[in-house]
Amino acid sequence: MIESIGLGKTFRGRRSKVEAVSGVDLVVQAGEVFGFLGPNGAGKTTTVRMLATLLRPSFGRATVCGADLVEQPREVRKHIGYVGQRGGTDPSMTAWQELIIQCRFHGMNKSAALARAQWAVDAFELGECADRRTGTYSGGQRRRLDLALGMMHSPRLLFLDEPTAGLDPPSRANLWVQVRRLRDEGMTVFLTTHYLDEADALCDRLVIIDRGQIAAEGTPQNLKREIAGDIIVVGVEGDAKTIRKVLAEQPFVRDADEPDPQTVRLFVEKGETALPHVMRLLDAHGADLTSIALERPSLDDVFLRKTGRSLRDAK
């Protein structure tokens, strides 16, 4: 559905150039939810806007739905839907008006537009608000309408740029249900997010992007599996560097790092077995322990191992 090679974008400032995306290689298969995970400013939106023909690439090449991104942009647009971060509804219009106008933009006659609008109202649970002006909508209602607008011409590929940013938990959960439904119906969804739980729950495959470059790629399960075993998180008073050095020398510790000056993370094969040894070592060295926890690897741990920083901190 998408194949890009060395795709990149450079913005020119008054005094210098800024390389927002530094040569991205992607392959997105039909019928999957493909995730683009990274902090704000990592290059997610710039990449999506290039793939959706809203920004011309500075270098590299790509095909989207079988059409060349640069040479055949109109052909690309026929087959894609795009839902940006802020949406594009007119607060003075109703959902019915927005949906019908969108259909007409795509060449449908009046009867076809009405039928498609009715489908969207039912499919995205807009019946209770479809006759009201969109300026009165809640965040969840507005995002459901945005999603419906991106679907009115039955695209093969749907781009969702941070679709749940700013939503309350029930609205996020509802949108997750909608995304899963689209995937189950055969839609290919390209989803950008900086929410770890969202990427883990929704994406069949994902890439982690940081500072305009891809740092890792795979299924959420396989990426976490790369960090085999368990993680012991130790909180200490004082300098964590000394504690890390002592613990890292132990044969049961595969790796160790310091996410902050008072925390040491140990990557071990069997956390339940290693935990008592860690406690004894800390006691023997007089460490002032403030907390200790046993965890399974998360996507944030993958991001930390690949980029050297936590995704939560990088936001």
Q: Quote the mean pLDDT of the chain.
A: 91
Q: Taking 90 as the threshold, does the pLDDT of residue 225 lie above it?
A: no
In the chain, the number of structural domains is 2
Q: Are 299 and 36 in contact (CB under 8 A)?
A: no
Q: Taking 70 as the threshold, does the pLDDT of residue 228 lie above it?
A: no
Mean predicted confidence (pLDDT) in 120-143: 94
Q: Taking 80 as the threshold, does the pLDDT of residue 308 lie above it?
A: no
Mean predicted confidence (pLDDT) in 36-59: 94
Q: Are residues 179 and 272 in the same domain?
A: no
Q: Are 113 and 103 in contact (CB under 8 A)?
A: yes
Q: Where does the pLDDT of residue 315 fall: very low under 50, low under 70, confident under 90, or very high at 90 and above?
A: low
Mean predicted confidence (pLDDT) in 146-157: 94
Burial class (CB in 10 A: 0-12, 13-18, 19+), 16: exposed
- Asked if residue 313 belongs to a domain, the reply is no
Q: How far apart are CA 195 and CA 148, in angstroms?
A: 22
Q: Where does the pLDDT of residue 179 fall: very low under 50, low under 70, confident under 90, or very high at 90 and above?
A: very high
Q: Are residues 220 and 266 in the same domain?
A: no
* pLDDT attached to residue 27: 97
Q: Are residues 134 and 187 in the same domain?
A: yes
Q: How far apart are CA 109 and CA 45, in angstroms?
A: 33
Q: Are residues 154 and 252 in the same domain?
A: no
Q: Are residues 69 and 208 in the same domain?
A: yes
Q: How far apart are CA 192 and CA 201, in angstroms?
A: 13
DSSP secondary structure, 169-198, as one string: HHHHHHHHHHHHHHHHTT-EEEEEE--HHH
Q: Are 193 and 162 in contact (CB under 8 A)?
A: yes
- Asked if residue 302 belongs to a domain, the reply is no
Domain range for 259 is 228-296
Question: Of the candidates 224, 246, 262, which is a domain's last residue?
Answer: 224
Q: Are residues 183 and 99 in the same domain?
A: yes
Question: Of the candidates 206, 224, 242, which is a domain's last residue?
Answer: 224
Instruction: Tell me the CATH number at 233.
Output: 3.30.70.980
Strand 17-28, strand 33-37: pairing: unpaired
- Asked if residue 170 belongs to a domain, the reply is yes
- Asked if residue 157 belongs to a domain, the reply is yes
Q: Are residues 63 and 212 in the same domain?
A: yes
Q: Are residues 207 and 242 in the same domain?
A: no
Neighbours of 28 (CB within 10 A): 20
pTM here?
0.82
Q: Are residues 139 and 235 in the same domain?
A: no
Question: Of the candidates 164, 192, 224, which is a domain's last residue?
Answer: 224
Q: Are residues 203 and 244 in the same domain?
A: no
- Asked if residue 304 belongs to a domain, the reply is no
Q: Are residues 172 and 263 in the same domain?
A: no
Q: Are residues 137 and 210 in the same domain?
A: yes
Beta bridge partners of 8: 22, 59
* pLDDT attached to residue 312: 67
Q: Taking 90 as the threshold, does the pLDDT of residue 193 lie above it?
A: yes
- Asked if residue 307 belongs to a domain, the reply is no
Instruction: Tell me the CATH number at 14.
Output: 3.40.50.300
Percent of the chain with pLDDT over 70: 98
- Lowest-pLDDT range of 68-82, 182-196, 233-247: 233-247
* pLDDT attached to residue 313: 64
Take residue 183 and report the two structure tokens written for it: 């995937």
Take residue 101 and report the two structure tokens written for it: 């106008």
Q: Which residue has the higher pLDDT, 269 or 80?
A: 80
- Asked if residue 301 belongs to a domain, the reply is no
* pLDDT attached to residue 5: 97
Q: Taking 90 as the threshold, does the pLDDT of residue 102 lie above it?
A: yes
